[in-house]
Amino acid sequence: MHYTWRWFGPEDPVSLADARQAGAKGIVSALHHVPNGTVWAPDAIAERKSLIEAAGLQWSVVESIAVPEAIKLGSGGWQGLADAWAQSAINLAQQEITTICYNFMPVLDWTRTRLRHRLADGAECLRFDLVDLAAFDVHILQRRNARFAYGATLLDLAETRARTLDEAARSELINTILAGLPGSEESYSLDSFRDQIARYDGVGADGLRRNLSQFLSRVIPQVAPHGVKLALHPDDPPRPIFGLPRVVSSAQDLRTICAMHDNLANGLTFCVGSLGVREDNDLPAMLQEFGARVHFLHLRNTRRDRVSSEGALQRDEIAGESFEEAAHLEGDADMAQLVSLIVHMERNSGRTLPFRPDHGHAMLSDLKQGYRPGYPAIGRLRGMAEIRGLEHALRGRAASGEAAG
């Protein structure tokens, strides 16, 4: 496994030196300052690459070249934007950066409702609370027909939640959802968010799949000859929100996407945390099924709620819909089993897959110095160390078994 670390550029409070001390060998980065739809210039790529290499690291994965909304909508001019996207990928490949993680989530990138959820041990984590989301959608955003997306129990809970929000809590919820989390490419006001959602009226899941397929059909023939490997990130959370379709959420979704273009360049990012939010996703089976198409790994864990935020057992309507980021070895996903499968995959294929620890808990000096939500230094260091320990133990056990045999 190739140990990497997400770095948001020179303004990131966690430095390249910090990443190297944590045990990273590679960096996952992007030119976040380049506007969406604009070709990444070779000089800008070279400058970022040189900065990373001067710190004794390599630029291993790009996350992400943003996919403009016009491509997701299939609206006028999408072809030129897709060609610009492909040219950025080609420019990266010419400087030996060939793995590109991207997503195809409409309007919003990854979404949470709380950025600093306090845990019993005093650490902080990211949280997605369905009641908070419904309260925002129905009572703050006041999206047209929003009530029809939720059942009676959830609507009652959302109404109560909305009534209890003071002005500070209301503003925090709005900013958390709309202002853009780290790595997101957009930031919205309530009005502009409503407008963006309205653009997807009538698109639906079938339309979004069609637009993804035509994007891949235009881009892959351009980038594959340069050795580019696309790694599509799952939806986060892996279900429709705000009436927007999501089409990268389940095993069947991944089968459909792989069939869109039968080329290994049409690949996946296997994000344990995102896919693991759905209880019906069998992660070990999915990793084995799609292993040849997996070009990048996000090893993080989530824990689905067993009880509601009101403390009572959840009804079927909302059970398991809310979740929080768990410690890497302590969530719903069996990380030891998944790392074992990854070790086996690498041994059989001869590949070394890049992975990064993701969304670690904020703890210790993270809490004193400040951090980007989801990207604390100590929490990710802990996750990387835990994964490294698992990998070393599993490889040692495999080697002992071979020697005994």
Using DSSP's 3-state secondary structure scheme, residue 225 falls into helix
State how far the Cα of 121 lies from the Cα of 107, in Å rounded to an integer.
Answer: 35
Query: Is 135:170 a contact under the CB 8 Å cutoff?
Result: no
The strand ranges marked E within 292-388 are 294-299, 301-304, 323-326, 354-357
CA dihedral sign, ordered 153, 154, 157, 162: negative
Tens-of-pLDDT digits for all 405 residues of the chain?
A: 999 999 999 999 999 999 999 999 999 999 999 999 999 999 999 999 999 999 999 999 999 899 999 999 999 999 999 999 999 999 999 999 999 999 999 998 889 999 999 999 999 999 999 999 999 999 999 999 999 999 998 999 999 999 999 999 999 999 999 876 555 666 788 999 999 999 999 999 999 999 999 999 999 999 999 999 999 999 999 999 999 999 999 999 999 999 999 999 999 999 999 999 999 999 999 999 999 999 999 999 999 987 555 544 444 556 568 999 999 999 999 999 999 999 999 999 999 999 999 888 999 999 998 888 889 999 999 999 999 999 999 988 766 666 555
Q: Which residues are catalytic?
A: 233, 271, 298, 358-359, 375
Nearest to 309 by CA among 127, 140, 186: 127
Q: Which residues pair with 28 in a beta bridge?
A: 6, 61
Nearest to 137 by CA among 275, 246, 244, 273: 244
162: which 2 tokens?
């909305």
**pTM for the whole thing?**
0.93
Using DSSP's 3-state secondary structure scheme, residue 395 falls into helix
Residue type, 230: L
Query: Is 353:297 a contact under the CB 8 Å cutoff?
Result: yes
Q: Does domain 2-404 have CATH number 3.20.20.150?
A: yes
In the chain, where the domains are located = 2-404
